[in-house]
Amino acid sequence: MTYSTIDPGKLAAALGRELAGSGMVIGIVNAHSPESIDSMAKQPCAQITAMSLQAAPSTEVMILAAPFRTHAVIGDQQSNPDQKVVVDAIDNDSISPDELMGLLNAAR
C-alpha cells in the first residue's frame, strides 16, 4: 500500500516518520516544491520520499494535514477519490469560525 501526506507540518512529519518506521514508503508533499523537504526525506527512516502535489493522488492513502486554505488546490488534484482512503487532518485553526462557515456554505 502506498501513502502520501500533504504538508510537512508537525502532524504530517510525525505520521510520515511513524509509517516509514514500520517499513512503509510514504511520500511527503508541501505547497512549495519536493526539494524543500529533502532534509526530511534524508532522515534515518529513509522510507520517506519527497513528492509533488501532482503525484500524491497516485497513492492509495492520502493524509491531508495542510492548512485549510489549501484544500481547493488539493481537491483539484484528485483523480479518482472513490478508490482511495483520504484521512482529513486539515488544520483549520488559522481561520475564524465565520470565515470557515462562509467557505463551507460557498462550496454547496
Q: What is the CATH classification number for the domain harbouring 67?
A: 3.40.50.720
* pLDDT for the residue 32: 62
Residues 6+ apart with CB under 8 A from 76: none
Listing from the earlier edge strand, what are the strands of the sheet with 61-64? 48-50, 26-29, 3-6, 61-64, 85-88
Whole-angstrom Cα distance, residue 41 to residue 71? 24
User: Is the entire prediction scored with pTM above 0.85?
Assistant: no
pLDDT band at 53 (very low <50, low <70, confident <90, very high): confident
Q: How many domains are there within the chain?
A: 1
Share of the chain above pLDDT 90, in %: 0
Higher pLDDT, 37 or 61: 61
Four-point Cα dihedral 39, 41, 43, 46, nearest 10: -160
Q: Which domain holds residue 64?
A: 3-106
> 67 phi and psi, to 5 degrees?
-60, 150
Average pLDDT of the residues in 30-51? 66
pLDDT band at 28 (very low <50, low <70, confident <90, very high): confident
